[in-house]
């Protein structure tokens, strides 16, 4: 298998959480959301059955499971203990860098580096004050803690990629990003969703005419600038909806919508779910 080269400037890495725990009773039989995030569990004790996309995957103690890109159902035995890592590893357009078209089950004894790196990640997170939702993306950390957590996460991603490639998982088709467009993508990452996006200003920023800018942007991302920014807004909406400390009304204003109904219609058109339904199915994940 040919392993592609990748600039870290062209990928998005987000750690959501890493923990070791006994699965709480309310999550033993619960919805499983692996459509928008990568889910990895090492079953230390007990077992889990995963029902997703018409397939059933049974994972006993001593095995890892990397759940396929799908929403479904999880059924843990009582007192099951797991190492759990949730994360995103995507290109600049929001596509998974590694294909997740099937669940991968690995023997922990045969892949000790996975458990070692996961425990290193859990240890790095233990020094971090995590919000109630458990999400780490927006936490401001002392620089030494932030660097330690970033290093542990990068090690996990390296080990994860190695294990997936060794088990036949391919990399997705990567977009080649023009350096001028890469700078614009960095700007868009910081652009307030409450402000209107003016494409002519973006073109001027990188010294291009608006037509040439549009061609290069689509070649680099597969999307127009407006569609790309809309995708960023959707990703942000999904992250915020998984944080119970934010009300849907607060999310509406942060994302620049005039009313909760406008936000709800926009979100449902893109996901098939209302914000409230998405929140209900996403909270309480393991």
The 10s digit of each residue's pLDDT in 90-125 is 887 778 889 899 999 999 999 999 999 999 999 998
What is the pTM assigned to this prediction?
A: 0.82
CA distances from 265 to 34, 56, 74, 262 (A): 23, 33, 29, 5
On the question of pLDDT at 132 being above 60, the answer is no
Residue 26, classed as helix, strand or coil, is helix
Beta carbons of 81 and 21 less than 8 angstroms apart: yes
DSSP 154-170: HHHHHHHHHHHHHTTPP
What is the pLDDT, as a whole number, of residue 27?
Answer: 92
Residue 272 CB coordination number (10 Å): 9
More confident residue, 194 or 268: 268
pLDDT surpasses 90 at 18: yes
Q: Which pLDDT band holds residue 4 (cuts at 50, 70, 90)? A: low
Is 172 a residue whose pLDDT tops 80?
no
Cα atoms found within 13 Å of the Cα of residue 157, Cβ hemisphere only:
20
For residue 107, give the nearest of 164, 60, 69 by alpha carbon: 60
Residue 138 has pLDDT above 70, yes or no: no
pLDDT digits (tens, 9 = 90+) for 66-77: 999 998 999 999
In the prediction, which pLDDT does 25 show? 94
Radius of gyration over alpha carbons of the chain, in Å? 20
Residue bearing the bigger pLDDT, 271 or 9: 271
- E strand or H helix at 56, and its extent? strand 55-60
pLDDT at 191 exceeding the cut of 90: no
**Which neighbouring-strand residues pair with 63?**
43, 107
Question: What pLDDT does 283 receive?
Answer: 63
Q: Domains in the chain, please, with CATH?
A: 8-166 (2.60.120.10), 179-282 (1.10.10.60)
Average pLDDT, the chain: 88
The mean pLDDT of 47-51, rounded to a whole number, is 97
């Amino acid at each position: 298998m040919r392993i592609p080269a990748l600039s870290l400037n062209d990928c998005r890495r987000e750690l959501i959480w890493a923990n070791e725990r006994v699965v709480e009773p309310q999550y033993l039989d619960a919805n499983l959301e692996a459509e928008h995030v990568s889910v990895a569990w090492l079953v230390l004790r007990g077992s889990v059955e995963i029902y997703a996309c018409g397939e059933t995957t049974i994972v006993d103690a001593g095995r890892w499971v990397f759940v396929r890109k799908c929403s479904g159902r999880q059924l843990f035995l009582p007192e099951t203990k797991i190492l759990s890592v949730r994360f995103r590893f995507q290109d600049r357009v929001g596509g998974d860098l590694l294909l997740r078209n099937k669940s991968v089950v690995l023997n922990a004894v045969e892949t000790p580096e996975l458990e070692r790196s996961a425990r290193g990640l859990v240890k790095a997170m233990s020094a971090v004050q995590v919000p109630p939702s458990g999400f780490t993306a927006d936490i401001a950390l002392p620089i030494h803690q932030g660097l330690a957590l970033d290093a542990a996460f990068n090690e996990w991603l390296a080990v994860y990629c190695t294990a997936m490639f060794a088990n036949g998982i391919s990399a997705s088709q990567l977009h080649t990003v023009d350096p001028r467009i890469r700078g614009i993508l960095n700007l868009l990452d910081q652009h307030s969703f409450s402000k209107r996006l003016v494409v002519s200003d973006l073109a001027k920023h990188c010294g291009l005419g608006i037509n040439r800018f549009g061609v290069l942007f689509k070649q680099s991302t597969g999307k127009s600038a407006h569609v790309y920014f809309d995708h960023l807004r959707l990703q942000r909406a999904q992250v915020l909806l998984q944080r119970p400390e934010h009300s849907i009304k607060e999310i509406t204003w942060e994302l620049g919508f005039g009313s909760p109904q406008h936000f709800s219609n926009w979100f449902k058109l893109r996901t098939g779910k209302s914000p409230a339904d998405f929140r209900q199915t996403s909270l309480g994940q393991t």
